[in-house]
Structure 1
Amino acid sequence: MHKAGKKSAESLSAFLGNVLGIGCFAFMSFLATSASALFVSDYAKWKTMDASDRATYAKGMFDTFMIAYPADDDIARAFGLDNCAADLKLSGEKIAEFVDDYYETTPKERDMPPFVVVNTVVVLGLCRQHINSERKSRGLTPLVSAP
């Protein structure tokens, strides 16, 4: 294998290992929250959780979007979200605040699960530019719909 290609493959392998670790952590975070938090289906259930559980749940939801399979779309999304999280310093608390703000400002959407809110507001909203930058670097078209 070409030297640059080998380095790229090693870098990708290390990144995917980290993403897998994040995915496992996210899953364990889901298990660590209360049983009712495993199936948060709307605003009413979201608001029954205390702030710490909402932050843990929110970070877990975000992290699940970073799980990548060996496909260019998934890898571009994972790298883009990783860069977005670093640039915007996205913590569980901050992501939970975005969910809270969305529910407060769009009451007609309160039947929407928080997972969909994170996808809409954070992944497709705040992080779209980062994802599209990674997609462009891989020769992919820009993200225009749900990943």
Structure 2
Amino acid sequence: MIQIQQAVADWLGRKTGVRAVAGRSPVQAYPLFTVEAELSGVTALAGGRQCEERFSVTVTAASDRDRDQSRALLARLALALPAGIPMDDRVLHPQDVSTKGDALCFSLTLCRLCPTDPEEEENAEVMEHLHFDV
């Protein structure tokens, strides 16, 4: 989750020019975006070799201590979301984008290889040839 938060925060800072932090920050300079991500579900794919992880992301905007003009910051952000958010060698595309007050919420889906047990990996050989007795 921290990797998702950091990727979104980095992208926000580059795209909007507004300081963005992953998680809550005790030291706040305004304007500011804070990014929080929570794992909302995992689905096994490809016989358990891959996992589809779904994350709920919340971006909170604060233009100043009184949070005036926060919705204007979110409006600029909402226009930039459809192009996707780069993370390592992939681009994550936000889905189900919505706003609630001074927060913008969306979901991200990420497919990864599932961690495997080294002992199981040694015992599981890839079947390259089929042998039939006729």
The normalised TM-score by structure 1 is 0.27
Structure having the larger proportion of residues in helix? 1
Comparing both structures, which one devotes a greater share of its residues to strand? 2
Higher alpha-carbon Rg:
2
**Which one has more relative contact order, counting CA pairs under 8 Å at least 6 apart?**
1
